[in-house]
Amino acid sequence: MNLQFVCAVLISCSLPALAQGTTAPSVNLADGKPTGLSFALVVRSKVLTTEGDWKQGDRLRGFATTHPGSYIVFVKEDSLQLLQNSAAVSEAAQLYGVLETLGQQQAVLGAKQTPLIQRQNDLDKQMKLASSPEEMHRIGAEEGRIGAQQGAIGREQGEVGRKQCIAGRAFYDKVQNILTLCLSEQSCKPATHD
């Protein structure tokens, strides 16, 4: 999942709720470039996500494939840095877990939409072949019912999407704060390719 995409699609995220402790947005909307450090969150040797400059994603994932463990690897001035503070990594993973849960909810809602879309397509074909006003009325009424169901699911998807955007921003901003603190305290170390 690309959090910048989710937040860009749901730009309505600039809600008052976001004002509670957030910093700069993850992507500059003017040029689409990331505003923070590019990073990968790795938990038990699995890359949960890479964020920031998409050009750095392969590099970050490449490091993770050859370095087992739980950590955050990030790019600072074109060099890889490593944060291995277990409490910080655990906190980031918990925040990311919220995003995974919301993503699963979106998948369930999307699965509910699929048969409705298929039914609408079938009804459209039937409407083209309808031979009487009564038949057209019956088909139109059913299309209306299905459309109402789709609308209700769409509203749920929108609400889950809004939550995804807020959770994504909270996750990204928290990791940026963790990395900034790590750099200022000099508690992260250069990531070596041993």
CB 171 within 8 A of CB 95: yes
Amino acid at 107: A
Q: Is the pTM of this model over 0.95?
A: no
pLDDT at res. 149 = 97
Which stretch of DSSP H or E encloses residue 40? strand 39-43
- Closest by CA to 97, choosing from 194, 174, 31, 33, is 174
pLDDT of residue 155: 97
Sheet order of strands, 189-190 included: 46-51, 39-43, 71-76, 79-83, 189-190
What Rg value do the Cα atoms of the chain yield, rounded?
Answer: 22
Q: What confidence score (pLDDT) does residue 192 get?
A: 77
Average pLDDT of adjacent 10-residue blocks, the chain of 194 residues: 42 34 42 76 96 92 95 95 96 96 97 96 95 95 97 97 96 96 94 71
Distance CA 73, CA 69 (A): 11
**Contact between residue 163 and residue 15 where contact means Cβ atoms under 8 Å apart:** no
Question: What's the confidence (pLDDT) of residue 65?
Answer: 94
pLDDT of the residue at 20: 29
